[in-house]
């Protein structure tokens, strides 16, 4: 029997560096093609072609009836098993049409959310064709409300993109630390750093997530080097935020107010008795806050100055900041603007009154 038109499917995988369970290899007129967007493993291809050339039986008989024969590839550090997925009476044209139909079916669920993917900063450097190729690597997962998506302490296995719904970052005491909606990405830090997951993620409501496995994540970075820059910058920013939360800050540090709010940032500078300036870029302009040995000596925000500028900045939750150490000779002579903790308490009282 000649298997000129056939499909093999991976049924088991252990530490294979390239392929996943469920991925298929198509033989058409004795030409072999693998999963789209994946590099070719010559060892596996050789095993598949050997099975075809030697015309090995694709079935064996057992007390349970006919069983598909499993083939194994263990030519490198990993191991995968695959079996013949019978393609009966399919002509070449029919196989091509089948392949097109399968590809369309796989992409249909992501096409619905293409605009979400297109609008993400991470994918902005990719043209439409590249983004669609990358989307072919994504799997769609649906989580009902209040389900565990990621659990703290477990190894990171995938990157997640919220396509629909909302998820929450959950603290050790079960409290909600933050929420993420459509377009947000999580899980990438464990993949980049190799460290276990640091916080648990739960679905706040029914959510649809695009999932990229760690294996495919590495292939994506290799295929699209421009994405490496994005993730490297994300890794640096997150590391800086963690450093600041640990109680240290150094000149040149940058970050987002969404990760460390102005109150925490200013208290960190005060407790560390730092001398320098925080420059903030906000949606309605820029601001400067100057410290000398941890004490506030100047603040500028639009038309506001001194205490009023400082109080107004405490309410900000969106924007970027940069801390630069050192002052000019003139700045070093500025007097302290009141006791720092007194200013913080007064500013928080005003924020609460405004929100009320």
SS (H, E, C) 191-226: HHHCCCCCCEEEECCCEEEEEEEHHHHHHHHHHCCH
Residue 242: is its pLDDT beyond 80?
A: no
- Least confident window among 147-156, 161-170, 249-258, 309-318: 249-258
Mean of pLDDT values over 259-264: 84
Mean of pLDDT values over 107-128: 79
Residue 1: is its pLDDT beyond 60?
A: no
DSSP state of 296: E
The per-residue pLDDT for range 184-224, each reduced to its tens digit, is 889 887 777 677 888 899 999 999 999 988 878 877 877 78
**DSSP helix/strand/coil, 327:** coil
Mean of pLDDT values over 40-45: 74
**C-alpha separations of 290 from 21, 44, 202 in Å:** 56, 62, 40
**DSSP helix/strand/coil, 53:** helix
pLDDT (0 to 100) of residue 356: 62
Query: Model's pTM, two decimal places?
Result: 0.51
Residue 142: is its pLDDT beyond 90?
A: yes
The DSSP code sequence of 85-146 is: E--TT--HHHHHHHHHHHHHHHHHHHHTTHHHHHT-GGGTTS-HHHHHHHHTT-EEEEE-TT
Confidence of residue 147 (pLDDT cuts 50, 70, 90): very high
Which token pair is 72? 């194994």
pLDDT (0 to 100) of residue 91: 45
Q: Between 109 and 152, name the one with better pLDDT.
A: 152
The per-residue pLDDT for range 47-106, each reduced to its tens digit, is 777 766 655 544 443 344 444 556 677 666 667 777 766 554 444 555 556 656 665 665
Mean of pLDDT values over 327-349: 89
Residue ranges, CATH 2.60.120.10, the chain: 112-237
pLDDT (0 to 100) of residue 206: 94
Mean of pLDDT values over 129-138: 81
Confidence of residue 290 (pLDDT cuts 50, 70, 90): very high
CA–CA separation, 283 and 333 (whole Å): 31
pLDDT (0 to 100) of residue 75: 61
- Average pLDDT along the chain: 79
Confidence of residue 2 (pLDDT cuts 50, 70, 90): very low
- Least confident window among 33-37, 145-149, 159-163, 266-270: 33-37
pLDDT (0 to 100) of residue 203: 95
Residue 109: is its pLDDT beyond 90?
A: no
CA–CA separation, 161 and 181 (whole Å): 9
pLDDT (0 to 100) of residue 308: 94
Task: Please list the residues that pair with 175 across neighbouring strands.
Answer: none
Residue 137: is its pLDDT beyond 60?
A: yes
> The domain 112-237 is classified under which CATH number: 2.60.120.260, 3.30.2130.30, 2.60.120.10, 3.40.1000.10?
2.60.120.10
């Amino acid at each position: 029997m000649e298997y000129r038109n056939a499909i093999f499917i991976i049924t088991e995988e252990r530490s294979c560096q390239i392929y996943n369970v469920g991925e298929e290899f198509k033989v058409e007129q004795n030409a072999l093609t693998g999963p789209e967007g994946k590099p070719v493993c010559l060892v596996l291809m050789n095993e598949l072609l050997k099975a075809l050339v030697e015309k090995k039986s694709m079935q064996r008989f057992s007390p349970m009836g006919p069983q598909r024969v499993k083939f194994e590839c263990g030519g490198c550090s990993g191991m995968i098993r695959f079996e013949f997925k019978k393609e009966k009476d399919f002509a070449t044209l029919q196989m091509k049409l089948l392949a097109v139909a399968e590809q369309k079916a796989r992409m249909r669920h992501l096409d619905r959310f293409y605009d979400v993917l297109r609008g993400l900063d991470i994918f902005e450097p990719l043209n439409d064709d590249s983004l669609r190729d990358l989307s072919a690597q994504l799997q769609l997962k649906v989580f009902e409300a209040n389900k565990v998506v990621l659990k703290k302490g477990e190894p990171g296995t995938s990157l997640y993109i919220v396509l629909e719904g909302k998820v929450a970052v959950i603290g050790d005491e079960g409290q909600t630390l933050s929420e993420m909606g459509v377009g947000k990405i999580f899980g990438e830090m464990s993949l980049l750093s190799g460290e276990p997951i640091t916080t648990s993620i739960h679905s706040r409501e029914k959510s649809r997530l695009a999932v990229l496995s760690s294996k495919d994540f590495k292939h994506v970075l290799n295929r699209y080097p421009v994405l490496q820059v994005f993730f490297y910058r994300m890794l640096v920013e997150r590391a800086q935020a963690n450093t600041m939360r640990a109680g240290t800050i150094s000149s040149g540090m940058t970050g987002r107010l969404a990760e460390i709010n102005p109150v925490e940032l200013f208290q960190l500078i005060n407790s560390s008795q730092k001398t320098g300036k925080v420059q903030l870029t906000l949606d309605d302009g820029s601001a400067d806050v100057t410290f000398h040995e941890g004490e506030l000596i100047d603040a500028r925000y639009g038309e506001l100055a001194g205490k009023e500028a400082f109080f107004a900045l405490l309410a900000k939750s969106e924007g970027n900041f940069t801390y630069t150490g050192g002052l000019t000779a003139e700045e070093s002579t500025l007097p302290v603007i009141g006791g720092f903790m007194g200013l913080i308490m007064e500013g928080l009282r005003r924020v609460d009154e405004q929100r009320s």
